[in-house]
Structure 1
Amino acid sequence: MLRLSLLSSIGLLGFLAFKLGPKHRPPTLHAPSITTITDIPSSSSPPPPFRKLTYDVFISFRGEDTRRNFTDHLYAALKRKGIHTFRDDGQLEKGKSIAPELSKAIEESRYAIVVLSRNYANSSWCLDEIANILDCLEKKKVLPVFYDVDPSDFRKQTGDHFKKAFAKHEKAFKDEPDKVQRWRSALFQVANLCGWHLKDDGYESVVIQEIVEKISSELIQTVSISEDGLVGMDSHLKEMRSYLDIECPDVRVIGIYGMGGIGKTTIAEVVFEREKAQFEGYCFLKDVREAAEKLGVVHLQMQLLSSLLKIDEDVRNTRMGKNIIKERLRNNRVLIVLDDVNTEDQLEALCDRKWFGQGSRIIITSRDEHLLRAFEVYKVNPLSDDDALQLFRMNAFKEDHELVGEESLKQSKEFLKYANGLPLAIKVLGGSVNGRSVESWSSELDRLKDNPEKKIIDVLKVSFDGLRKTEQEIFLDIACFFKGDDINRVIRVLKGRYNHCPRIDIKVLIEKSLITLLGKKLWMHDLMQTLGQEIVCQEYPEKPEECSRLWVHNDIIDVFDQSKATNAIQSIFLKGSTKDDVVHSINDSFSNMHKLRLLKISNVKFSGSIKYLSNKLQFLQWDDCPLGSFPSHFQPDNLVELHMHSSRIEQLWRGKKVWRLLRHIDMTGSQYLISTPDFTEVLSLEILVLEGCTGLVELHPSLGSLKKLVFLNMRNCKSVESIPPFTSLESLKTLNLSLCSRLKMFPKIEGHMESLLELDLEGTSFEELPPPVEHLAGLTKLNLIGCSKIVEILENLNCMESLEQLYIGGTAIRDTSFLVCMKNLKSLSCKGSRGLDISDCNQMDEDIPDDLSSLISLRKLNLSGNCFVRLPEIFFQLSKLVALYLWNCKRLELVPQKLPSNLKFLFVDGETLILDNLCMMYLTI
């Protein structure tokens, strides 16, 4: 044990953690364990940038030494691995000078393997090869293999066989002394590169395997970022590497600027993949603007921390996120890409060069050059004519893009006039003619000529016009309403409109590059969204009320205020500013909207009432809805989702309603809701959210019979005193009854509930867990925080072997012996924070319970605020523990000399000590 001294009367503890020896980055080339080369430097040349190359590997060797043994086996191993390799077949060496075929093969190879053997220097042919290879050193990697020779012989060139060889060469080339000197220099340079030294007692197969694995692993990275249209990337990489200057020790921030669709993200992705291996941590935050608007900047901060530190952090606000990033990453050399940033707030929350360790690099892509004014900026220009043509061919002809004729070349150039070098537009145009004969392109060209405008939006419309009617309609729905939504949600909502599942239509849109998937979310480039919106606007340019879809705030308000609505309107997406306090009238605004399918209103205040809502509605979201009830004749048989946050609704409907497609009801914050409706005929309901419905008193008995219900959230329904029996909730996975302060008894369970995974009873008045507990055998999360009347849970928990998270803060539980059976427990908390938290539990006066050692899955442990004196030696058995909290442990004197092997973070009175889990040491301060 190591003793800790108390530093003050309030018991502040000081730890000093330091690392024994620096962390060495592995060399670029790895020598085998047979005989390693320790006295020569490694090649510093970076992986060659992507360019069109004929071969992956060129092998230079002396035929009489290794053709039938080592080189032959190496060549065969490379071929088996699918690595395209050039080897002189022996028929080319007829003259004294290297053949043009070999020079071309050297130039067009990514790697060069030089097998330096005893008679290598005797051959002028080999010496020409190695000299040519060294001329291309900056463009390729050179891997030397010293075959039964000493590397120093090649560096010094003083052995008998070297003397004889160069004496012969100097005589044969007495009129070309520079040639011989060039050969000597080439041998010397290659001999100073890190490689493999194979002696008589070594195993050729081992060396061959290591060479093949090294090249294969590096080519995988190259291939992963060199497919599908990385046209013109060489020049971008060259420019970006000069901006990055990886060897410079300061922290650099580089902006990539250009218009939408110009290729900023692609450039950032390629640079990221090429360079990330040189950093301790790396993170690519894609679509920052969209994610910030949809999920918030705090989510991005958490994502950044998770990617760089490989642990999850509970960040509650941007200020907290900034502080954590600064504290955790100030000594880390990281590579970060912030893609599509559009506000100062995003930069301030995610990017301050003072937060990161020396040598860090931050790359920011943005359309706003002014936003990047404080950084070095690389402006991306449109593609050159040659690159644009190549990209178009790749998308128009796919695998046969090299096999094009004169007519297709002429037609291609006509298409490219409209694209103006914009990669996204070129790709979409190429895809629009893919699979069609060149003869049919003339009709496409005629269509373009009918529209004289050369704006990008017109170019993109060519692809839209080639879609089927249902594909066009779904594209417009996504552009005007669903962008950023979950793909499965969109499919469920739209399914009722068509006679088939729209999944195939969405797949077509993805294949045609009109939309993309970000995880499970449907996304589209801004140019594509503008295309969809422009198409709708062109339906009736001067009469928005006659258009099929409305999303412009002023247009919608005008339609409502002037009662201009028509039967043409299918969707309305109205989102106001949170600072807008204007109250608009809603009286009879929907009377003529008989085709309205999609309605979303948020941050806009209305007054009045309505007598009609379309029965064709598939999606209805109306935050702060002023209606006390829906119109009496409202029968939306196609309604899939209903969201009424903070509404004035008192009752959703009266009597039985056959809303057969309704899957999701969210009434969050609807304080006027008094009772739930009869759900008997709502057979498809999967999600029911009643959180914050503080006026809710009565729950209809049919609630307990929803067989497909998966998620039930009644958090803070503080007026509810009882819940009807759960008779058929066989699909329920999540049940949240937290802060239902008047609930004293758990609902009676009459049916099966083995599917329940998460149960939240925080702040209820329950005195015990719900019997019979066998219904909770599959539970993985149980929250009892603030259930002050619960004293004993041992008997119940013995039935819950699947439990992973248990929160017991604020209960009267003192016996912790139940921990012995918690083999799958990952989180145990008294305060609700993630990780093991038994902080401020006064029962631990001197010792920590030995039961803790049984928690073999534990990753975080919070022992803060306790009075124990020592950490037990058995503590090191928590092999998966990553973080340990010891704040305000005033009596702690001893910690074990042997700590858990994976422990990386130690928190002591506001400080974080980052430990090297291979060499930890604590010193008394």
Structure 2
Amino acid sequence: MANSEAGLSSDAARALGDEYEVFLNFRGFDTRYGFTDFLYHSLVDAGVHVFRDEDKLHVGEVIGENLLRAINNSIIYIPIFSATYASSKWCLRELAHIRDNVSQSKGKKSILPIFFHVEPEDVKLKTPLYSDDLLEHEKKFPIEVKAWRKALTEVDEIKGWNVKKDQSQAMIVKLVVKRVLEKQELKQKLVPEHLVGLDDQVKHLTELLDVNHRNVRLIGIYGMGGIGKTTVAKVVFNELSSFFGECCSFLENVREKTSTNDGIVQLQEKLLSDIGDSGSANRVKNSDQGMKRIGKVLGTKKVLVVLDDLDNKDHIKKLIGNNSLHSRSRIIITTRNKTILQGQVCKGKIIPYEMIKMDDDLALELFCRHAFGKNFPSNDYYWLSKQIALKTGGLPLAVEVIGSLVNGKDKAFWEETLIKLREVPEEEIMEKLRISYDDLNEHQQKKFLDIACFFFNEKKTDAMYMWADCGFYPIRGIDVLTSRCLIKILDDDKFWMHDQLIDMGRQIVHQESPNDPSKQSRVWIAKEALEIIRTEERKNKVEALEIKGSLGIRTGFTKITNEEFEKFPNLRFLKLGLATFTGDFARCHSKLKWISLYSPSYWITDFRADNIYFNDLVVFKLDYNEFKDDSKAWDLIKVNHML
């Protein structure tokens, strides 16, 4: 852009050194007082911190320090390609530097190109419009022009907006502002604070995926639970996502989510929504229709998709379709089961990549980061640290959990932990993780099991209210679970738990009574839940119950009577999927704190407010699209109460 740091606007000058959200790269001669000015002010009005320099010529032949800092500190770059853009060596210099910033940002920065009265073919240098300008530049700047050509052709691969002469510029600006605001939420995945020993694996995987290669690449990362498959997939996803614009999707916990009737459909809807096909996402009625729609969309878009924790080969086809993928698409699969990676998928083969255990030195380093907050142990704890790290079997999850367990404890506790680890067979990771669970008090264990069975990937607020009303001291308890690396709280305030820890928590519940679910504290498996509801005896042990109903038709709707629920005197959590209850509940369930219904209003005709003693309830939820606003749910209760 033919502008200068000497002419910086006062806002830009005051903000130099701050982290910008958007940097506008444009040819002032073409768009400064029209489209670019409109876009700039629309972004600023939306609360976005935008860098735009004023209309002065650059001094010298290199990008000045202030302008360089502005580019480096920005997060989103919007190059506006116009008719005379390529005639400006400064536009091209900025673009080359932008391209370097994005490629080195590990997915944290991105480019949103706009083609203003030009075609992508022009930017791709397939027409004389830009090609002639570069030939002219080549006479004076032959080395730089190589970088400029590379930047132009790579940016052209990113999906952007075409502004035609007969098109509403206001509408395009509105779409750009919307996209920028969306990207502030971003699809970047949260990764552990302490990453040790992943550099070589990330490098190898990014080389295998090779975003510059024109063919489709499918990679299957396999290995035992807790070895770091999901973590390395998240790091790679973050590094590569900027090459795919908005066409990125990371589907987590596929194995768990596909255990329900509607799970695969929900994942299909999320994938379609993630890659910008939200209209189709809202029209998915069943998994076969979803597979066909995904196959059609993925045949026309270059995408980056991660399918995390698969255990069923059929789900690969359901989630990425059964047709050929668009060239340069990249699919990453993580699984514990190598056999699902065999054969062809989407007319291509999956390249298997095995995750191996950490070597002893790296395991010790990771352990020390969690146990001491540094890369090495204290002298008097060196031997114990090395022995405990060895006994974790080189599994990052076990290293993190055990390291966090002994953090701040005395030597006697460390020695006892080592004895317990030595008693566990080398391959039994869950038993090693169980050591940390056993050290929790009763209330902390209850919260851990609640999250493992019901609340992982759910916002924490409602659960905290319930636990507080039950006297479980949730604030301190969640702090302990977090510090022990048993759970994490994500940026959107949702609980996150490693799938291996979810499995462990559910295994603990099953072990309470392996052959009789009615004597377990928590029941969430649909068949078991319905069976114990129908049995006659009391279920004093059951504290939390989820009953999943069938989807799609009224005949799948489940009604539960108050007589059936009277057999659950200690029930505090109740979640009904496409189900409701009938009868007078006011005389039972004094301990019930949470009721959640997944039912449309026309199925809740028997639900009456005077059926329930609401003074004891802390959480009441109607989880259906028409009740996304909780106030609407309560309005329904009030209306029924007045009938």
For 1:253, the aligned partner's letter is: L
In the TM superposition, what whole-angstrom CA distance separates every residue of 1:460-491 from its partner, at most 9, and x where no partner exists?
A: 13322433332123223434565565534433
- For the structure 1 residues 363 and 448, does the alpha-carbon distance in structure 2 shift closer, same or farther, using more than 3 Å as the test? closer
Deviation of residue 401 (structure 1)? 2.5
Match of 2:483 in 1: 511
Residues 1:462 and 2:435 aligned together: yes
Match of 1:421 in 2: 394
Matches within 5 A, 1:422-821: 422-436=395-409, 441-449=414-422, 455-479=428-452, 487-498=460-471, 501-517=473-489, 522-533=495-506, 535=508, 547=512, 550=513, 552=514, 555-556=515-516, 570-576=521-527, 588-590=536-538, 593-600=539-546, 629=563, 639=572, 641=574, 643=576, 651-653=583-585, 664=595, 666=597, 676=608, 678=610, 682-683=614-615, 687=620, 710-712=631-633, 732=635
1-structure distance, mates of 2:446, 2:589: 28
Residues 1:395 and 2:395 aligned together: no
Contact 2:509 2:521 in 1 (8 A): no
In the TM superposition, what whole-angstrom CA distance separates every residue of 1:848-883 from its partner, at most 9, and x where no partner exists?
A: xxxxxxxxxxxxxxxxxxxxxxxxxxxxxxxxxxxx
Which of the residues 385, 388, 404 maps onto 2:360? Answer: 385
1:710 is paired with a residue whose SS is helix
1:363 is paired with a residue whose SS is strand
Deviation of residue 279 (structure 1)? 2.4
Give identity over the alignment, percent.
26
Q: Which runs of 5+ in 1 are unaligned?
A: 1-29, 35-68, 84-109, 112-149, 156-188, 196-220, 538-543, 605-622, 692-707, 713-730, 738-746, 749-925
- For the structure 1 residues 430 and 79, does the alpha-carbon distance in structure 2 shift closer, same or farther, using more than 3 Å as the test? farther
2-structure distance, mates of 1:477, 1:335: 33
Contact 2:542 2:570 in 1 (8 A): no
- For the structure 1 residues 437 and 193, does the alpha-carbon distance in structure 2 shift closer, same or farther, using more than 3 Å as the test? farther
Deviation of residue 495 (structure 1)? 3.5
Judging by fraction of residues, say which structure has more helix: 2
Contact 1:244 1:361 in 2 (8 A): yes
Deviation of residue 439 (structure 1)? 8.0
1-structure distance, mates of 2:582, 2:73: 69
- For the structure 1 residues 373 and 70, does the alpha-carbon distance in structure 2 shift closer, same or farther, using more than 3 Å as the test? same
For 1:576, the aligned partner's letter is: K
Which of the residues 316, 330, 339 maps onto 2:308? Answer: 339
2-structure distance, mates of 1:531, 1:660: 27
Matches within 5 A, 1:228-267: 228-267=193-232
Which of the residues 272, 278, 284 maps onto 1:311? Answer: 278
Contact 2:295 2:322 in 1 (8 A): no
Contact 2:296 2:323 in 1 (8 A): no
Contact 1:284 1:336 in 2 (8 A): yes
1:354 is paired with a residue whose SS is coil
In the TM superposition, what whole-angstrom CA distance separates every residue of 1:361-395 from its partner, at most 9, and x where no partner exists?
A: 11111111111113111111111222222222222
- For the structure 1 residues 689 and 240, does the alpha-carbon distance in structure 2 shift closer, same or farther, using more than 3 Å as the test? closer
Residues 1:370 and 2:342 aligned together: no
Match of 1:120 in 2: none
TM-score, reference length from structure 1:
0.43
Contact 2:533 2:565 in 1 (8 A): no
2-structure distance, mates of 1:413, 1:678: 62
- For the structure 1 residues 291 and 437, does the alpha-carbon distance in structure 2 shift closer, same or farther, using more than 3 Å as the test? same
- For the structure 1 residues 671 and 335, does the alpha-carbon distance in structure 2 shift closer, same or farther, using more than 3 Å as the test? closer
TM-score, reference length from structure 2:
0.59
Indicate the RMSD between aligned Cα atoms, in angstroms: 5.1
Contact 1:576 1:603 in 2 (8 A): no
- For the structure 1 residues 440 and 684, does the alpha-carbon distance in structure 2 shift closer, same or farther, using more than 3 Å as the test? closer
> Max radius of gyration: which structure?
1
Match of 1:293 in 2: 259
For 1:710, the aligned partner's letter is: S
Match of 1:269 in 2: 234
Deviation of residue 690 (structure 1)? 13
Deviation of residue 259 (structure 1)? 1.1
- For the structure 1 residues 152 and 435, does the alpha-carbon distance in structure 2 shift closer, same or farther, using more than 3 Å as the test? farther
- For the structure 1 residues 415 and 82, does the alpha-carbon distance in structure 2 shift closer, same or farther, using more than 3 Å as the test? farther
For 1:359, the aligned partner's letter is: R
For 1:508, the aligned partner's letter is: V
2-structure distance, mates of 1:307, 1:585: 38
- For the structure 1 residues 370 and 283, does the alpha-carbon distance in structure 2 shift closer, same or farther, using more than 3 Å as the test? same
Matched pairs, number: 471
Matches within 5 A, 1:171-250: 228-250=193-215
In the TM superposition, what whole-angstrom CA distance separates every residue of 1:198-255 from its partner, at most 9, and x where no partner exists?
A: xxxxxxxxxxxxxxxxxxxxxxx9x998972222222112321332132322222111
Deviation of residue 501 (structure 1)? 4.2
2:323 is paired with a residue whose SS is helix
In the TM superposition, what whole-angstrom CA distance separates every residue of 1:758-801 from its partner, at most 9, and x where no partner exists?
A: xxxxxxxxxxxxxxxxxxxxxxxxxxxxxxxxxxxxxxxxxxxx
1:339 is paired with a residue whose SS is strand
For 1:321, the aligned partner's letter is: G
For 1:682, the aligned partner's letter is: F
Which of the residues 309, 313, 323 maps onto 1:354? Answer: 323
For 2:537, the aligned partner's letter is: S
Contact 2:546 2:575 in 1 (8 A): no
For 2:270, the aligned partner's letter is: Q
Contact 1:573 1:599 in 2 (8 A): yes
- For the structure 1 residues 488 and 230, does the alpha-carbon distance in structure 2 shift closer, same or farther, using more than 3 Å as the test? same
2-structure distance, mates of 1:309, 1:73: 38
1-structure distance, mates of 2:533, 2:275: 50
